[in-house]
Amino acid sequence: MYIVTAEEMYEIDRYAIEKGGIAGKLLMENAGSQVAHQIKKAYDINQRIAIVVGSGNNGGDGFVIARYLVDYGFDVTLFQLVADEKIKGDAAYHKELWLNQSDKLELVTESNQLKDRLIAYHLVVDAILGIGVSGEIREPIRGMIEVINQLDLTRISVDIPSGLPANDGEDVDIAVKADQTYIIEAPKVSTFCEPTSNYYGNWDIVKIGIPTSAYLDVASRRWRTTSDVQASFPNRGTYAHKGSNGRGVIIGAQPTMPGSVLLSSRAALRSGAGLITVATLKENISIIANGCVEATYHVLPNLIDRLSDKDLKAFDQFDAIAVGMGMGRAKSELLSSLIENLDKPVVIDADGLYHLKTFLDQKAEKRANLIITPHYGEMAMLSNLPVSEIKKAPFEVSKQFAIKHNLYIVLKGKNTIITTPNGTQMVSNQGNPGLAKGGTGDVLSGILLTMIMQHPSILEALANGSYIHGMAADLLIDLKQHTEIDLLATDVIEGLSQVFRTLS
């Protein structure tokens, strides 16, 4: 499933109309009928429905929705919030179809008037503004959005809550606070950004018949679904052996943080790694081994000096490396010596990101198999941007950073955004606030390490890993084994078993 900006959606629509030969009127018919169908399935027939329409094609969808809902037996009134002459093209065509069957169309041009009228309804379908919104929201639409937000109504937005930007990087002026949004055809970028996502309420996507080919040269972001994970998850052959399931090394942990690599190593093994070695300080080993008997151990004299030739030779035997968990932030050359000498995929997390920053600009240009896994705070540190700026434009910031530094980014949060060195992006929105606790990032690093060892595409591996990490947390809550309050990082590791059973 692709994620699009407004400009990309217009280009995709254009392709469908010009190359696919699907008339715009038909796309609008499909959009409206699909939304109406969803409303019919989800809401009580006795609810009185007000449909508010604006001047553009979003309003056009509203006319179609009205026609279908009446057919389904709902009591529907259409409120047109703009003058007649503003309704043009496909929207005017569908307005005419509505008028051919109903006289329930009221022109409302003032917000007070709208308030008086909407009081009599249970549910409002918001078809005022779609992805064509630009600039500050003008009166009287601004006041009307305020009214819709104030009233005790169920708010259902069509395509996007009216007033909300579709892209990232734009400020929210005023927008409908929807309870439910039926997104037309493809989720917009703002669906996955923290400052905008809440406006959508619950959201679902309705498809309107645009061929996938329309997206191919246009959109470069995708939303990961369960079926994507199932389709790309590596199979285990009957003759699999531990070598074929991946041999990984996890480097890190000061004596004050042995739990970090313990979590990563257990998560890597529970995700199916063939062999995991933990490279850490001698004094950590008995503690970590106590919690993870399946791992082997490699003793490092410290986590500060450049790695010795002997260590590098040992690490060269592995398929991939994860480094940085619990490593401490004291000046260290371990990471730079690792990256300079070994051309393997390296997952860099937590304190490792602080070390990476010290030599990021000199990082070997040629290699593109470094994976960084920052949360928003770490991304702010790496990019020298405030967290608020990154939250506002997470796709754009990640893309520019990944291209500039030639690396993969897993930007962690409610929506985890994965970006490749050439700017392709994938989003996993699995997971819940139960994960907002120390240690869950270490679990993710372990999972990602295993996925990378088992999949030829780093992007697919990172997307699958992020997905199953969040899915484990969701299943533990759904199946009532834990709540968001008591869920711990160790529980997420145990939850992986349920994930694999569900996926297979």
Ligand X SMILES: NC(=O)C1=CN([C@@H]2O[C@H](COP(=O)(O)OP(=O)(O)OC[C@H]3O[C@@H](n4cnc5c(N)ncnc54)[C@H](O)[C@@H]3O)[C@@H](O)[C@H]2O)[C@@H](O)CC1
Ligand Y SMILES: Nc1ncnc2c1ncn2[C@@H]1O[C@H](COP(=O)(O)OP(=O)(O)O)[C@@H](O)[C@H]1O
For residue 258, whether the previous peptide bond is cis, meaning omega lies within 30 degrees of 0, is no
Q: Is 456 in the site for ligand X (CB under 6 A)?
A: no
Q: Is 387 in the site for ligand Y (CB under 6 A)?
A: no
- Number of DSSP helices (H) and strands (E) in the chain, helices first: 20, 18
Q: Which of 47, 232, 244, 432 binds ligand Y (CB under 6 A)?
A: 432
Candidate segments 188-196, 306-314, 330-338, 426-434, binder of ligand Y by CB under 6 A: 426-434
Residues 261-294 as b or e (16 or more Cβ within 10 Å = b): bbbbbbbbbbbbbbbbbbbbbeebbeebbeebee
The number of beta carbons lying within 10 Å of the beta carbon of residue 315 is 21
- Residues with Cβ < 8 Å from 189, sequence gap 6 or more? 3, 4, 5, 166, 167, 168, 221, 395
Q: Are 303 and 252 in contact (CB under 8 A)?
A: yes
Q: Are 62 and 89 in contact (CB under 8 A)?
A: no
Q: Is 350 in the site for ligand Y (CB under 6 A)?
A: yes
Q: Are 453 and 319 in contact (CB under 8 A)?
A: yes
The annotation places the binding site at 57-61, 126, 130-136, 159, 162, 326, 375, 412-416, 441-442
Candidate segments 29-37, 154-162, 397-405, 406-414, binder of ligand Y by CB under 6 A: 406-414
Q: Angle, nearest 10°, between helix axes 440-454 and 458-478?
A: 130
Judged by CB under 6 A, the chain residues 461 through 480 that form the site for ligand Y are: 469-470
The CA-atom distances, in angstroms, between 166 and each of 15, 83, 191, 197, 351 are 20, 25, 8, 10, 35
Q: Is 31 in the site for ligand X (CB under 6 A)?
A: yes
Q: Which CB atom, from 161 or from 465, has the smaller least distance to ligand X? A: 161
Judged by CB under 6 A, the chain residues 307 through 336 that form the site for ligand X are: none
Residue 471 interaction partner, one of ligand X, ligand Y, K ion, none, beta carbon < 5-8 Å per kind: none
Q: Is 61 in the site for ligand X (CB under 6 A)?
A: yes
Q: How far apart are CA 260 and CA 440, in angstroms?
A: 9
Q: Which CB atom, from 138 or from 310, has the smaller least distance to ligand X? A: 138
For tokens 């290699």, the residue is 367
Candidate segments 45-53, 54-62, 278-286, 448-456, binder of ligand X by CB under 6 A: 54-62
Q: Which of 52, 53, 60, 452 binds ligand X (CB under 6 A)?
A: 60
Strand partners, 370: 346
Residue 444 interaction partner, one of K ion, ligand Y, ligand X, none, beta carbon < 5-8 Å per kind: ligand Y
Q: Which of 144, 206, 208, 250 binds ligand X (CB under 6 A)?
A: 208
Q: Are 134 and 167 in contact (CB under 8 A)?
A: no
Q: Which of 126, 159, 319, 460 binds ligand X (CB under 6 A)?
A: 159
Q: Which CB atom, from 23 or from 436, has the smaller least distance to ligand Y? A: 436
Judged by CB under 6 A, the chain residues 223 through 242 that form the site for ligand Y are: none
Minimum distance of K ion from residue 109's CB (angstroms): 18
Minimum distance of ligand Y from residue 326's CB (angstroms): 9
Residue 438 interaction partner, one of K ion, ligand X, ligand Y, none, beta carbon < 5-8 Å per kind: ligand Y
Q: Which of 33, 34, 157, 180 binds K ion (CB under 5 A)?
A: 157
Q: Which of 131, 148, 158, 475 binds K ion (CB under 5 A)?
A: 158
Q: What's the Rg (C-alpha) of the chain? A: 26
Candidate segments 35-43, 55-63, 67-75, 448-456, binder of ligand X by CB under 6 A: 55-63
For tokens 């606070």, the residue is 177
SS3 assignment, position 373 = coil
Minimum distance of ligand X from residue 135's CB (angstroms): 5
Q: How many residues bind K ion (CB under 5 A)?
A: 5
Q: How far apart are CA 145 and CA 139, in angstroms?
A: 10
Q: How many residues bind ligand Y (CB under 6 A)?
A: 19
Q: Which of 77, 162, 280, 332 binds K ion (CB under 5 A)?
A: 162
Judged by CB under 5 A, the chain residues 43 through 62 that form the site for K ion are: 58
Q: Is 164 in the site for ligand X (CB under 6 A)?
A: no
- Give the torsion through C-alpha atoms of 98, 103, 108, 113, to 10 deg: -140
* Among the listed residues 364, 295, 297, 302, the one whose alpha carbon sits nearest the alpha carbon of residue 333: 302
* Among the listed residues 401, 452, 390, the one whose alpha carbon sits nearest the alpha carbon of residue 425: 401
Q: Which CB atom, from 58 or from 220, has the smaller least distance to K ion? A: 58
Q: Are strands 408-411 and 416-419 parallel, antiparallel or unpaired?
A: antiparallel
Minimum distance of ligand X from residue 116's CB (angstroms): 22
Residue 440 interaction partner, one of ligand X, K ion, ligand Y, none, beta carbon < 5-8 Å per kind: ligand Y
Which amino acid would we find at residue 446? Answer: G
Q: Is 184 in the site for ligand X (CB under 6 A)?
A: yes
Region for residue 128 given its phi and psi (left: phi exceeds 0; alpha: psi -120 to 50; beta: otherwise): alpha
Q: Which of 49, 56, 318, 468 binds ligand X (CB under 6 A)?
A: 56
Binding residues for ligand Y, rule: CB under 6 A, are 350, 375, 412-414, 416, 431-433, 435-436, 438-442, 444, 469-470
By CB under 5 A, name the binding residues for K ion.
58, 126, 157-158, 162
Task: Give the interface with ligand X as residue ranges (CB under 6 A).
Answer: 13, 24, 27-28, 31, 54-61, 129-138, 141, 158-159, 184, 208
